[in-house]
Structure 1
């Protein structure tokens, strides 16, 4: 028999938010790269507000920042899961970590392309 969720749709919002905030706190506490990217986002958000000519430009500039943060969170989750399974070297564990790292790298490329295209149009 399928166990029924003890929360209704609205009641799930509180626990889901709590766990999300715990995840953000853990990432900030344990992941240096995430802390660096949060610092980058705090630094660049006011700059994005200043240099964006339209809301769409602002949204695009911010998307580069948020995609980096999202990808870093997912990469950190992958790494924590792989490390939980075992710390011994395994080809698939290394591949999972490398692919997660590649995802962060691609998000950084996206960020650079978006921000450089804005800077180029300002010249």
Structure 2
């Protein structure tokens, strides 16, 4: 009589390996869930800017959703904030050029009437400009002579405008106001020094030559 053999209940090596891997994955998942932050999975809704078949939003609906999103108002110090309306900036073409010329002439009149330093430099320019046109030098040297004189007038006008703007803000004594005015005066002094140096280097040798010829 033959004895019936019962199948062995010992699991195969591959089955045991799969079970152990599953248990390790379960332990890792529990460990990750314990270490996860409470709000780590919260994300802001993404508004697509074009057709998105996955979310079911077309471009028009996405733009409408984006336009309905509230935005914070821009502060006056924000560089992207719109500039205040200026009614004096509406002129174009020849009208703008005409108004600009009238404003420039008004600025010259104010500088001559109110700024004594500008009057002195303008008197000096009235003497040096004809000399620069009559002195026998090269065209480039002549341009340098004229440019150095005109540059003094330009910097003096800018310095006067800075002083007027500071006085418009406040007439009280302040360290920053004094510093701004001193810097403008320093710019004028540097320009005057450059003008004197240019005339000495170009006209100086000619004057020495004329003196030697007359002597």
* Both structures adopt the same fold (TM-score exceeding 0.5): yes
CA deviation string 1:59-116 (max 9, x = no partner): 1001111110000000001111111111111110000000000000010011011001
- Larger mean CA deviation between 84-93 and 18-27 belongs to 84-93
Cα offset, 1:52, TM superposition: 4.0
Determine if the alignment matches structure 1 residue 67 to structure 2 residue 117: no
Question: In angstroms, what is the RMSD of aligned CA positions?
Answer: 1.8
Higher helix share: 1
| 3-state SS of 2:150 partner | helix
Q: Which residue of 1 aligns with 2:93?
A: 9
SS in 1 for 2:95: coil
Looking at CA atoms only, which structure, 1 or 2, has the larger radius of gyration?
2
Name the counterpart of 2:130: 46
Within the candidate set 174, 178, 186, 1:90 is matched to: 174
1:100 to 175, 184, 197: 184
CA distance in 2, matches of 1:118, 1:87: 43
Q: Relative CO higher for 1 or 2, CA cutoff 8 Å, sep ≥ 6?
A: 1
C-alpha displacement at 1:120, in angstroms?
Answer: 3.2
Secondary structure of 2:161 counterpart:
helix
CA distance, structure 2, for counterparts of residue 10 and residue 109 of structure 1: 39
Tell me the CA shift for residue 45 of structure 1. 1.1
Gap regions ≥5 residues in structure 2: 1-81, 209-215
Corresponding position: 1:35 with 2:125: no
Alignment gaps of 5+ in structure 1: none
- Residue number in structure 2 paired with 1:58: 142
Equivalent-residue separation in structure 1 for 2:141 and 2:172 (angstroms): 46
Residue-by-residue CA offset, 1:25-76 (whole Å, 9 max, x unaligned): 1000000000011100111111111224222211100111111000000000
